[in-house]
A and B are shown apart, each in its own frame.
Chain A
Amino acid sequence: MTAPAHPEGAAGPATRPWYVSAGLALAAVALLLGLAWGAARLRSPYPFYGTAYPAGTQAAPFQGVAVQGGAARPFAFTPGAGGQATALFFGFTHCASICPLSLSYLNKARALLPAELRSKLNIVLVSVDPARDTPARLGEYVGFFGSGTGVRIPEPALGQVAQAYGVAYQKAELQGAAYQINHTTATYLIDARGQLRVLWDYTQLPQVERVKADLQYVLETP
Chain B
Amino acid sequence: MPVPARLFILLLALLTACRPAPQAQAGPTATLTVEAARVVAVPPSVKETSVFGTLRNPGGRPLRLTGVQSPAADHAMLMVTRTDAQGRTGMQMTDALTVPAGGELVLSDTGDHIMLMGLRAPLREGEPVALTLTDDAGGTHTLQAPVVKP
Contacts and interface: CB of A to CB of B under 8 A. Distances in A.
Interface of A: 93-94, 96-98, 100-101, 104, 137, 140-141, 143-145, 168-170, 172, 174-175, 178, 180-185, 202-203
A180 B84 CA distance: 14
Contacts of B93: 174-175
Given A101-B150, A145-B150, A178-B117, A96 B91 contact: yes
Interface residues of B, number: 31
Interface of B: 40-46, 48-50, 75, 77, 81-82, 84, 86-93, 109-110, 113, 115-117, 149-150
A23 B110 CA distance: 57
B117 A183 contact: no
Interface of B: prevailing SS: strand
Contacts of B109: 97-98, 101
Given A100-B40, A168-B86, A202-B110, A94 B46 contact: yes
A174 B150 CA distance: 24
A129 to B, nearest CB: 12
A97 B117 contact: no
Nearest to A201: B87
B40 A184 contact: no
